[in-house]
A and B are shown apart, each in its own frame.
Chain A
């Protein structure tokens, strides 16, 4: 490929289009009954992800997920009991984040994927009481496709025209800077307009798959604003590390095997410089007064645990 960006995008688009036509043609010739099956039901295999979104949403609304008793809690301590245990000095001197970690595991399914409402509610309670951040899986009626998934390292985002990787605060094994803009464009119109808040928004950014939201296309104007720099709490379910980040891009692609992405700084805090992919829980931060700072959440101090019981 040449280094002309316009040529490169057209080249890649054409290559993918041709290949896509070939794959679909071969499929329909070999399995005409399958295409007919989908046509009869008014759906297309190409758009099967949209169909899946509708099926899951309908299942949740019908109550199968919403009102199902929290089966997993039958054999496990309640979030209240967990918080009480955390408030009590432990003779074995187990770090708070390790105790929290084992508590979280009680409410997570064995397979990484969407959580039930009851699982989310239990985790919200633990995060709120132990970590001290008021977070919600569903905030103002909005909910991500999944709140439990794999996270991966992203590159720095271009903050203003002419921004370079050297102008960013780098981390060990930094992924560099993305050649394209994030979903919301530049953080500032120029370098001189860049504020401390802009710098923080890029440093602690996260990406979520808004592009696959079932209502994204029909509510794009509202959702685009709603998600822009929306704060999220990200908890690494393998080590208990937690970060408050802000949403600054729409990604990753479904075929990457990941559901979330984060800046080098967030990734570094969640798992260290060699951490490239791992399971996390990601909830919205309920922060109408904009009082929760972006960045690492230090809840290892046992005194931070609220004595609400």
Chain B
């Protein structure tokens, strides 16, 4: 099973449309999807680590490493250490990233 605790906060429809427009095979599509997915992992983690006190980083990483899929566990933890609106913070981060990426890939 392949689920990450932040999957429900991520929706990059326009990026997906651009990929589907140019990819002619499923292998091409999956290669490009993989690159976007990697960037999302880094952006979400960066957003969290920016706001999480440094002394909590290892604690969070341990939880994430053991249960990367556990939305309830990790979001509850982050709410207790960062803020109740941590999900909105992640949504905003990914929304901004999506806008930037879309600009980059649609301009030469």
Binding site for B on A (CB under 8 A): 1, 5, 8-9, 11-13, 15-17, 19-20, 23-24, 26-27, 30-31, 33-34, 37-38, 41, 43, 45-46, 48-53, 55-57, 60, 111-114, 145-146, 178-183, 209, 211-214, 249-257
Contacts and interface: CB of A to CB of B under 8 A. Distances in A.
Given A5-B22, A13-B35, A254-B33, 9 more contacts: A19-B101, A30-B49, A41-B65, A48-B4, A114-B1, A179-B20, A183-B26, A253-B33, A257-B11
16 contacts: A5-B22, A13-B32, A15-B105, A16-B35, A17-B35, A34-B49, A37-B65, A45-B38, A46-B41, A52-B3, A53-B1, A179-B24, A180-B26, A213-B2, A254-B10, A257-B8
B55 to A, nearest CB: 12
A117 to B, nearest CB: 12
Contacts of A23: 38-39, 42-43
B32 A16 contact: yes
B20 A114 contact: no
A178 B20 CA distance: 8
A145 B2 contact: yes
Contacts of B66: 55
Contact of A19 (B11, B21, B37, B104): B104
A34 B57 contact: yes
Contacts of A53: 1-2
Category for how many chain B residues contact A: 35 or more
A141 to B, nearest CB: 15
Nearest to B28: A9
Nearest to B30: A211
Nearest to A27: B42
A250 B71 contact: no
B105 to A, nearest CB: 5
A34 B61 contact: yes
A235 B61 CA distance: 37
B43 A33 contact: no
A11 B20 contact: no
Contacts of A43: 65
A17 B39 CA distance: 10
A146 B3 contact: yes
A23 B46 CA distance: 10
A53 B69 CA distance: 9
A20 B49 contact: no
A254 B37 contact: yes
Contacts of A256: 11-13, 16
Contacts of B105: 12, 15-16
Contacts of B12: 255-256
Nearest to A207: B26
A56 B69 contact: yes
B95 interface: no
B89 interface: no
A6 to B, nearest CB: 9
B3 A253 contact: no
B38 to A, nearest CB: 4
Contacts of A178: 20
Interface in B31-71: 31-33, 35-43, 45-46, 49, 57-58, 61, 65-69, 71
A34 B15 CA distance: 28
A251 B67 CA distance: 24
The 8 closest A-B pairs by CB, nearest first: A257-B11, A56-B1, A212-B2, A183-B26, A8-B22, A253-B33, A52-B68, A46-B38
B24 A9 contact: yes
B106 A1 contact: yes
A33 B10 CA distance: 25
